[in-house]
Amino acid sequence: MSNTERVLYFPEGKIMKTIICDDEKSTCSELEEIILKYAKEKSVSLVTEVFYSGDTLLDYLKREKINILFLDIELPGKDGVMVGKYIREVLEEENIFLIYISSKENYALQLFQNRPFDFLVKPIEAAKIYHVLDNIYRISGKNSVGFEFQTQNSTYRISYKDILYFQSTGRKINIVMKKEIRTFYGKLNEIEKRIPENVFLRIYKSYLVNKNYVKEFTYEWVKMLNGDVLNISKINRADVRRKILESAADEFKNI
């Protein structure tokens, strides 16, 4: 099913469970050594485990939580595209950093709806793995910081990674999440100044959307992960399209 679990643990910091799935054992071994070397040099805690097929990986994911997944596209049984779709749509897991690896370069558009964090082309290069892991740890740190708001004399905080979009309705702001909406009094212009500009995008006078949760888009609207379709104002259409395409291109910058 998998290799023996390998652990590199440092007393401080969250342990990141990292899975490698590739039918080439040499690639798995090389990638695992690079990841563990990174953990040792950066003094971060990692657990690694290896799988050689999409089917065995899916069985594992049904019962275990993971943080990072390096996933080959061409696998025996269920391929990497199917595994990614299962993770996002069936398990409804958006917090896994999904990094595709492949010897081919023509998969970018097929993978868009699986919302990968990055795409690496074989042969594996240590410098690129280090760059990906640096970004993961940087973003993980930012995601631990959330949006704070007050209502009824109480202060609340919601992690940015849990927010699909902000919606302005009159004097109220709705924070729309996958399964919940929280409301408070505020102005969208003020919120826009407080939140990460590389994550949220103003598409309309009433909407600030999390680019990571845009499932589909056209020139006139975006469809969010929860199925909500939000209009893009005419004045913002060219800019929104450019920024979404740039964001998608950044995910595949190594192609």
Q: Minimum mean pLDDT among 40-54, 97-111, 156-170, 199-213: which range?
A: 97-111
Share of the chain above pLDDT 70, in %: 87
- Mean pLDDT computed over every residue of the chain: 86
- Whole-number pLDDT of residue 107: 59
- Whole-number pLDDT of residue 212: 83
Does the pLDDT at position 249 exceed 60? no
How many CB atoms lie under 10 A from the CB of residue 249?
11
Does the pLDDT at position 243 exceed 90? no
- The DSSP secondary structure of the chain, one letter per residue, reads -BPPPEEE--SSSPPEEEEEE-S-HHHHHHHHHHHHHHHHHHT--EEEEEESSHHHHHHHHTT---SEEEEESS-SSS-HHHHHHIIIIIS----SEEEEEES-S--HHHHGGG--SEEEESSP-HHHHHHHHHHHHHHHHHHTSEEEEEETTEEEEEEGGG--EEEEETTEEEEE-SS-EEEEE--HHHHHHHS-TTTEEEEETTEEEEGGGEEEE-SSEEEETTS-EEE--GGGHHHHHHHHHHHHHHHTTT-
What is the mean pLDDT of the segment spanning 68-93?
Answer: 92
Look at residues 156, 166, 164, 160 and name the one whose alpha carbon lies nearest to residue 143.
160
d(CA 240, CA 235): 10
- Whole-number pLDDT of residue 189: 94
Residues 5-63 have pLDDT tens digits of 776 655 445 788 999 999 999 999 999 999 999 998 888 888 999 999 999 999 999 99
Residues 127-184 have pLDDT tens digits of 999 999 998 888 777 666 689 898 888 889 898 889 999 999 999 999 999 889 999 9
- Whole-number pLDDT of residue 255: 41
d(CA 203, CA 200): 9
- Whole-number pLDDT of residue 10: 53
- Whole-number pLDDT of residue 159: 86
Does the pLDDT at position 123 exceed 50? yes
- Whole-number pLDDT of residue 254: 43
- Whole-number pLDDT of residue 36: 93
Q: Long-range pairs for 32-35 at CB < 8 Å and ≥24 separation? A: 32/6, 34/124, 34/126, 34/129, 34/130, 35/129, 35/133
- Whole-number pLDDT of residue 63: 92
